Amino acid sequence: MDPKSSPCLLKFNVLLFLLILVCRHGYAQNTLISEMEELKWEKVMPGIWKASFGEKGLNPMDYTNSPKVGAIEALGDSPFPFAKDASRSLLTPDRASIRLPLNESEQIYGLGLEFEGINRRSNAYTLKVDHYGGIKGYTHAPVPFYISSEGYGVLINSSKRVKIHVGVGNRKDSNIPEPIDRTTGKNWAARPLSDAVEASVEGNGMEIFVFTGQTTLEVVQRYNLFFGGGVIPPKWGLGFWHRMHTKSSDQDVLKEIEDFEEHDFPLDVIGLEPGWQSFAYPCSFDWDTTRFPNPENFVRTLDQKGIKVNLWENPYVAPVSTMYKDISPYTGSHTVWLGEVPDFTIPEAQQVLLNHHKKNHLAIGVSGYKFDEVDGYDVWLWPDHATFPSGNDAVEIRQLYGMMMMDIFGRYFKEQNQRTYSLIRSAYIGASSHNFVLYSDYYDHKGYVTALANSSLAGLLWTPEIRNADSAEEWIRRFQSVSFSPLMMLNAWSSGKKPWSFPEVTDMVRNTIELRMKLLPYLYSAFYEYNQKGIPPFRAMVLENGYEAQETMAGGKLDDAKNPYAEQKRLEVTDQYMMGPSILVAPVFTGQKERSIVLPEGRWFDFYTGDYVGNGETITIQTKLEEIPLFVKDGGIIPMLNSVDKNSNDQSLEVRIYGSKENTYLLYNDDGISYDFEGGEYSLSELKSNLTQEGQLKGSFEELKNGNYSYGNINWSWMTNPN
Amino acid sequence: MDPKSSPCLLKFNVLLFLLILVCRHGYAQNTLISEMEELKWEKVMPGIWKASFGEKGLNPMDYTNSPKVGAIEALGDSPFPFAKDASRSLLTPDRASIRLPLNESEQIYGLGLEFEGINRRSNAYTLKVDHYGGIKGYTHAPVPFYISSEGYGVLINSSKRVKIHVGVGNRKDSNIPEPIDRTTGKNWAARPLSDAVEASVEGNGMEIFVFTGQTTLEVVQRYNLFFGGGVIPPKWGLGFWHRMHTKSSDQDVLKEIEDFEEHDFPLDVIGLEPGWQSFAYPCSFDWDTTRFPNPENFVRTLDQKGIKVNLWENPYVAPVSTMYKDISPYTGSHTVWLGEVPDFTIPEAQQVLLNHHKKNHLAIGVSGYKFDEVDGYDVWLWPDHATFPSGNDAVEIRQLYGMMMMDIFGRYFKEQNQRTYSLIRSAYIGASSHNFVLYSDYYDHKGYVTALANSSLAGLLWTPEIRNADSAEEWIRRFQSVSFSPLMMLNAWSSGKKPWSFPEVTDMVRNTIELRMKLLPYLYSAFYEYNQKGIPPFRAMVLENGYEAQETMAGGKLDDAKNPYAEQKRLEVTDQYMMGPSILVAPVFTGQKERSIVLPEGRWFDFYTGDYVGNGETITIQTKLEEIPLFVKDGGIIPMLNSVDKNSNDQSLEVRIYGSKENTYLLYNDDGISYDFEGGEYSLSELKSNLTQEGQLKGSFEELKNGNYSYGNINWSWMTNPN
C-alpha cells in the first residue's frame, strides 16, 4: 500500500473533478480522465509488479530467459513506487494506451540503444527496430523500458511499436501548468511540463511491468535478473577481434594471423565476412569451397592457435542455399535482398536453421556469428504489410527478429555447455542473459560512447567497433574506446586497415589493447556481478551513487530561420561511463586537447598515477594522445594480469589499490568457456584492503570458494601515496 | 478493356504459378499472391476509376470541393492504365494493403510536399502530417497521390497514415530479379528493382482512385479538376506580403506602411503575428486591445490604402479566449501548448470557430489567416492515442486538420462572394481549389525550390517565404525565388529585416518584385488555367512535354564508415520549374557563379534579352546577381503590365513575343476579388502571333468574351531577332 495516497480522499477528489467537468462541458464526457481505467497491479516477485489489459500479440518474453528468482529475492522488497490510481489505461478501436504519473523533478532514462542524450524527459519516441539515423526511437534496440530517477522502472511488454511521450503532451483534465502568453510572458516553453508518461501501441492491449529499487542501479538489476541476469562471456570473447576482408580465403586468414604475430598484436577471434559463403546477400549459409575448401580443417587450425572463428550472416535465404528447400515453406511473403525471410515464430523454421548451422558450422567448431541486418531500413526489410505463415504480424516479427535469433542459438550453445560471444544488430526486451553484443553502421564516435552508456539502461551490451579513421589521432582514440567496451573489435575489412595502419600510433594502439587484456580479471569479475546481481559491467553515470547529472538547458533564443520555436537544447554529460565497480572511463575524441569529467561524490584518483583528482566535482584535464583517461574510486581494488601472453602460464596478478579507503573486492574466475560455473565450478576470492594502525592500507586475500580457477601470486600495488 | 492483358491466358498463368508454388512449398499457401484479392475497379468519370475494400475511416473527401465534371469530360477518356488483375488488396487483422504493378522503366512522382528529390521510385515513405525534417514522407502535406511517368496517377483516399513502398520490397511470388552474390558479382544493389508499388494503412480498408492522362500533366489536371480545379487568388494576394513583429501595434503598422512608401516598395498585405491577440500560444483569437484598441478602424484604414490584413493563428484555444466556453465541449483529451484542441469533425465546433471569427475579424474586413501548427511535431501536438468527442481517431484528425480549417473558412468566403488568399501549414488530399498556400519552418533555399516543383504534383501551392539571410547575396537570391512563387512574402518579423535591409541589393530586390508585379496578367491567366483546366501555374519539369529528366545514379562506392551498403545516390534536377505556359524559372542559390539548366525539347530564349539559348539540351550559364534566370519557350507570349503603380489607372500592356513560332495565348481578367467570374463575369481575349509572308511574327488581339475587365492598349515587343 502506497503511503502517499489516501484512496478515499482521492476517489472523492476524482468524483468532484468529474462533476465539475461534466457541469462545465456537457458534451465532452468521453474525453474526461474517467475514460481511462485504473490499471490493476499484481505483484509478481519482490519489487516487481505487473498490470495488463486487453489482448497482447506475440509475447517478447517468449524469447528471453527465466528469472533469477533467488537473486531478485535477495534484493528484498520495496513499495509500489507511485500512486496506483494515477496509472490508467484506455482501449480505443485503434490502439491501447497507458498513462503513468510523473513528478515535476523526475528524470527518465533508458528506452533502448540511443546514440544521443541520456535523459529522455520532454521528448516523444516511436520505438521501432530500425537502423539508427536520428529519428527519436528508431534504433537497433528500441527497448520499451524506462528508468525513473525516483527509483523505479517501467517495461511495456509489447512486440508492437510503442509510441511513448515522456513528460510531453498535457491532457486537459490533468494537472497542467498555467498557459503563458508568448508575446509578453517570460519562460514560455514549446514543451510545457507534463505530469505523465503516456504510451500507446496499435493493438488491442498491453502488458506493463514495474521494477522498483532503492537506487536506479537496483532497478536495472531487477530488470536484468528478471531476464536471467547478465551474460558471462567466454574469456576469448573479451580478447581482440579482427574481421577479414569478405573475399579472404583460408590462406589469407593464415597470412593475417602471421601478420598479427609479426606485429606483436594479440588475436583471439577472426571474423569472416559474407564471402565465406558460396552466396551472400541473400545468404547460402554454405561454405564457399573455392575460398574455404576444407572448413573443418581451417577452424581446427585456428583453434590450435587459440583463435576462434566467427561467421557473418544475415538471415535472408538465397535460393541456392542447401537450406532453401527445407526453410522455404516457413518464409514470409516478401524477400529481403531477394532472399526469403524465415518466420522464426514457427518452431520448424528454427529447427531447419539450427540443423543447417549445427551441421555446417557449429559441429566443426565455429564459435559464433555476427547476425547482420535484423534491424534494417524500411527500404531494405519486409514491409509492415508483409504476411508470414504463422499469421503473426510482420511488425511484431520485425521487432523481435534479433531476439528470436539470439534465443535459437543461445539455447543451442547452452545445450552444448559452451559459451558463445556473438554479434547481432538488433535486440529488444530482456536481452541481458543472451550472449550477444550489439553494433551499428552508425559511426559517430561520440554517439558510440553515448550508446555504450545507454546500453546499460536497457539490458544490452554494445561495441563501438572500429571501421576506419581519417587520421592517426582518430585511430588511437577509437581503439581506446573499443578497448574499454564489452567487445574489442576491429571491423575494417572494407577499408583494409590493420591495427598498425597508422605507424605513428601503433605502439599506443598495442599498449591500449594490452591494458585491456591485463584488466581481464577485473572485467571478468564485473561480468560475474552482471550475471549474479544484474549489475552491468559498463554503466551510464546515472546508475552511479553520488553522481549528480550536470544538465543545463542552453539556447532557447528565437531565430526565425534556425529556431522558430525558441526551443532549448539539453546539454548533458554523455561521454563518460563506469567499467566494473571502480573505474570511470572518459574517452577522448579527435581534436580534444582537454576535456571535463564529472566525478561522483567521493574521492577519485588517476588510474595511471594514483594521484588524487577530485571529489564530487567537475574537473578538466589536458588529454594525452597515448592515454584514455581513467579514474578510480577511493578504495578501488583492481586486479590485473602480469602477463597477457597467450602462450604463457603466468596467471599471477598485480592488484592495484587506489586512495585510502578500506574496501573488499570479489575476484571471480572459471574455465572461461563452459556453463559449468552454473553448477558451482568456479573460484571466488575476496581481496581486502584494510587500514593498519599506522594508517596504511594493507592487502589481504581470502579464498571464498575453493576451485580450480584461482589466479597465481599477487603483488599489491599501492597507487596512491598516503596523505 | 486493357488491350495489353488477356484475362484467360493470365488466369491460366496464375493457376500454373499457384500449382508450382503449392507443390514447392506446401506449408506456405497463405503467403502466395493468391492471398491478395483482385481490386474491383469501377469507372467514376472519364479517365477516373475507383476501387475499395473493407471500411474506411474519416473520409478526406469530406473536406474537398466538388469535381468540375464538365472540364473532366472535356479531357476525354482513356483506357485503364495497367493490368487490372495485377492490382490486388489484402486485409489482415492489423492492416489493409494494396499492390499495384510497376514497369521496369516507370518513374513515380508526387506523394506530397517533399523538399528533396522529384522521382520517388526505389524508396519507402510513411505519409504523415508533420513538420518536414528529413524523415521520408513526414511533411506538411503528405498527399497519398502519385503520378506515373506512364501517364496515370493513383490516389489512396485514406485519412490514416499511408506507408508506401515505391518499387522497393520484392514479394517472393512476384517477378523478382535473380539474386547477385555481393562478394563476386557486379551490380549488386541494396534496393533491387521491384515490380510493384505496395501501400498499407493501419485500418480496416482502403479506397483507391486511378486518374489517367495522355501526359503526366493531364493526370495532374484530372486530379485537380476532380477536386474542383485550382484556385484563382484575389489579385491582392499576388502582390507583396509583409509580416509585422509580433509585438507591433496599430501605430507600428502605420509607420511600417510609411517606411514601405518611403523606400518605394509595394505593399499589398500586412500580416499580424501572434501578438495581435490578447493571448497566444495557446490562442485567444481576441484582439489585444492595448496594441489594437480599434481593430475595425485599423483594418478600414489599411483597406483605404489598398492593403489587406492577414491574421496569424494556431487552432489551440486558450482558456482566456472569449470562444473558450463555447468550444470547450468539443475539444479533445489533450492540449497543445496548454490550449484545447477543437474537434472540427463536429459541425458545432466548426460553427463556434466560424462565428467567433466572423464577428471579431471577418466582419470588419480581415482578408484571411495564416493557420500555423496544424502540422506539428509529436512533441508538440496531441499524441496518437488522444481521444476526441466525435470518437474519430486522433491520427486521422491530425492528418485532416489543415483540410478541415481550409474547408470551414473556404465555405465562408465563398458564401460572402469574396476570395481569400490565406496561409496554412498543412494540407492533404484535394487541396487545389482551396484558397490557401502552404509554408514551412524548414528554411533550406534549395529545398524550398524543390518543394515548389513538387507542390504541383500534389494539388498544392507553396511559398518559399523569406525570413532572414546571412548575406546580401542570399537576400536577393531568396527574393528572386519568392517573386516567382504563388505567394511573395517577407516573414522576417523576428529578425526585423525589411526589403531594404541589405542596401547593396535594395534596388535589385525592388526590381525583382516589380518584375513579378508586371507579370501579373501572365500569372493571373495561369491561375485561370489552373481553375478551369487544373494546370498548375507553377509546375515541376516532369509535367512538361519534351522534358527528359536528367537523372544519374552516383556514388555507390563501398565505404565501411560512410556507405557500408554501397548505396547509390540519385542525382536529379530539382532546381528549376515552369511558371505559366512559357516561362522556365531557374533560381540561383548563394554562392553559385554558374548553373546548368535542362531545357525541354524545342527552342528556348532568354527572358531578358530574347536571345536563343538552346533546344532540348543542358546549358550552363554564368549567373548575374541582379537576375533570376528565366527562359521562354519558342513562341512564348508574355503579357506584362506597363505600370505597377497601385494608384495609377494604367492597365496597358507590353506583350512580349519570344522566338519565331506561331502561337496563341488566352489572356484572362476579372474583378480580382469576388467569385462573380464563376457566373461569367470576366474578360477573355486571345493574343496571337502569326507569321507574315515575310517570315516575321505579327501580333493580334481578339476579344473572346466581352467583359468589363479588359486590359488597356497593347505594345508588342519582339524579343528575338529573326534568324
Give the distance from residue B470's alpha carbon to the nearest chain A alpha carbon, in angstroms: 10
Quick check: B95 and A385 CB within 8 A?
A: yes
Radius of gyration of chain B (CA): 26
- Pick the residue from chain B with its C-alpha nearest to A168: B379
Give this complex's ipTM: 0.92
CA dihedral B468, B474, B477, B481 (to 10 degrees): -40
Model pLDDT for residues A510-569, shown as the tens digit of each residue: 999 999 999 999 999 999 999 999 999 999 999 999 998 767 777 677 777 777 777 777
Chain A residue numbers with beta carbons less than 8 Å from the beta carbon of B180 are 281
pLDDT of residue B556: 74
The pLDDT score that the predictor gives to residue A552 is 75
Helix (H, G, I), strand (E, B), or coil: what is residue A259?
Answer: helix
pLDDT, average across residues A617-646: 96
- Contact predicate B50/B44, CB 8 Å: yes
Q: Rounded CA gap, B540 and B525, in Å?
A: 18
Nearest CA to B64 out of B139, B164, B200, B157 is that of: B157
What's the burial of B82, exposed, middle or buried (CB within 10 Å: 0-12/13-18/19+)? buried
Q: How far apart are alpha carbons B295 and B283 in whole angstroms? A: 17
A77, three cell numbers: 522488497
What confidence score (pLDDT) does residue B264 get?
A: 97
Question: Does position A3 have pLDDT exceeding 60, yes or no?
Answer: no
Cα dihedral B226, B229, B230, B231 in deg (nearest 10): -120
Contact B649, B643 (CB under 8 A): no
Partners of residue B382 in chain A, C-beta under 8 Å: 169
Q: How confident is the model over A23-33, as a mean pLDDT?
A: 38
Helices B445-455 and B472-483: angle between axes, nearest 10 degrees: 10
DSSP 8-state symbol, A463? -
B333/A384 touch (CB, cutoff 8 Å), yes or no = no
The average pLDDT across A256-274 equals 98
Could you say which of B188, B329, B395 has the minimum Cβ distance to residue A25?
B329
Predicted pLDDT at B555: 67
Q: Which helix (H) or strand (E) holds A325?
A: helix A324-327
Closest CB to A329 among B28, B163, B319: B28
Provide the pLDDT for residue A143.
98
Mean pLDDT in residue range A459-467: 97
Tell me the per-residue pLDDT of A338-392, one tens digit each, with 9 for 90 and over.
Answer: 999 999 999 999 999 999 999 999 999 999 999 999 998 999 999 999 999 999 9
Question: Do A370 and A440 meet the contact criterion of CB atoms below 8 Å apart?
Answer: no
Q: In whole angstroms, what is the distance from residue B2 CA to residue A721 CA?
A: 91
Cβ contact (<8 Å) for A379 and B468? no
Closest residue in chain B to residue A203, using alpha carbons only: B94
Considering only alpha carbons, which residue of chain B is nearest residue A494?
A: B560
Grid cell 550489439 — which residue?
A438
Cβ neighbours, 10 Å, residue B439: 22
Whether A380 contacts A337, CB under 8 Å? yes
Distance, first Cα to last Cα, chain B? 49
Residue whose C-alpha is closest to residue B669's, from B536, B527, B530, B534: B527
Q: Between β-strands A108-110 and A145-148, what pairing exists: parallel, antiparallel or unpaired?
A: antiparallel
CA distance B144 to B166: 12
Counting one residue from A and one from B, how many pairs have CB atoms under 8 Å apart?
Answer: 270
Tell me the pairing of strands B436-438 and A538-540.
unpaired
Of A191, A200, A389, nearest to B383 by CB-CB distance is: A200
Q: pLDDT > 70: what percent of chain A?
A: 95
Half-sphere exposure at residue B96, Cβ-oriented, CA atoms within 13 angstroms: 22
Residue A33 pLDDT class (50, 70, 90 cuts): low
**Predicted local confidence at residue B651, as pLDDT:** 93
DSSP β-ladder status, B308-313 and B269-272: parallel
How far apart are alpha carbons B374 and B316 in whole angstroms?
9
Cα–Cα separations (whole angstroms), residue A159 to A93, A128, A560: 18, 10, 41
Q: How far away is chain A from the Cα of B15, in angstroms, using its nearest Cα?
A: 18
C-alpha cell belonging to residue B466: 523569406
| Nearest alpha-carbon partner for B450 in B332, B540, B578 | B540
Closest partner CB to A331 (pick from B28, B30, B387):
B28
Peptide bond into B67 cis (omega under 30): no
Q: Is B188 helix (H, G, I), strand (E, B) or coil?
A: coil
| Strand blocks (E) in A337-403 | 339-342, 368-371
Which residues of B fall within a CB distance of 8 Å from A288?
183
pLDDT tens profile A205-243: 999 999 999 999 999 999 999 999 999 999 999 999 999
Name the phi and psi angles at B329, rounded to 5: -65, -15
Contact A179 B337 (CB under 8 A): yes
Low-confidence ranges of chain B (pLDDT < 70): 1-34, 550, 555, 723
Residue from A292, A284, A202 nearest A250 by CA: A292
Check the CA dihedral B228-B229-B230-B234 and report its sign.
negative
Q: For residue A649, what pLDDT is reported?
A: 87
> What are chain A's domains?
7-176+186-226 (2.60.40.1760), 235-506 (3.20.20.80), 542-633 (2.60.40.1180), 637-718 (2.60.40.1180)
| Sequence-ordered alpha helix ranges (H) in B418-563 | 445-455, 472-483, 506-518, 520-533
> How far is B430 from B168, CA to CA, in rounded Å?
27
Beta bridge partners of B287: B277
Beta bridge partners of A99: A88, A198
The Cα of B90 is separated from the nearest Cα of chain A by a number of Å equal to: 9
| pLDDT at residue B29 in the model | 34
In angstroms, what is the C-alpha Rg of chain A? Answer: 26
- Note the maximum CA span of chain A: 85
DSSP state of B457: T
- CA B671 to chain A, closest CA, distance in angstroms equals 36
CA distances from B546 to B153, B541, B543 (A): 19, 9, 9
Max distance between CA atoms of chain B, in angstroms, equals: 85
Q: What is the DSSP string of B289-313?
A: TTT-S-HHHHHHHHHHTT-EEEEEE
Residues of chain A contacting residue B275, judged by C-beta atoms under 8 Å apart: 183-184
CB contact under 8 A, A169 and B562: no
Contact B499, B510 (CB under 8 A): yes
Contact A334 B172 (CB under 8 A): yes
Optimal mutation site among A37, A128, A337, interface B, most CBs of chain B within 10 A: A337
Q: Do B385 and A191 touch (CB under 8 A)?
A: no
Residue type, A422: S
Residue A460 distance to chain B (closest CA, Å)? 23
Please answer whether residues A114 and A444 qualify as being in contact, where contact means their C-beta atoms are separated by less than 8 angstroms: no
Q: Extract the C-alpha cell encoding A15.
A: 468524483
- Taking alpha carbons only, the member of A226, A225, A172 closest to residue A194 is A172
Q: Which of B31, B134, B389 sits opposite A28 (nearest CB)?
A: B389
A343 phi/psi in degrees, rounded to 5: -95, 95
Whether the Cβ atoms of residue A368 and residue A420 lie closer than 8 Å to each other:
yes
Gap from B257 CA to chain A (nearest CA, Å): 22
C-alpha to C-alpha distance for A582 and A522, rounded to whole angstroms: 10
Nearest-angstrom CA–CA distance, B435 and B429: 14
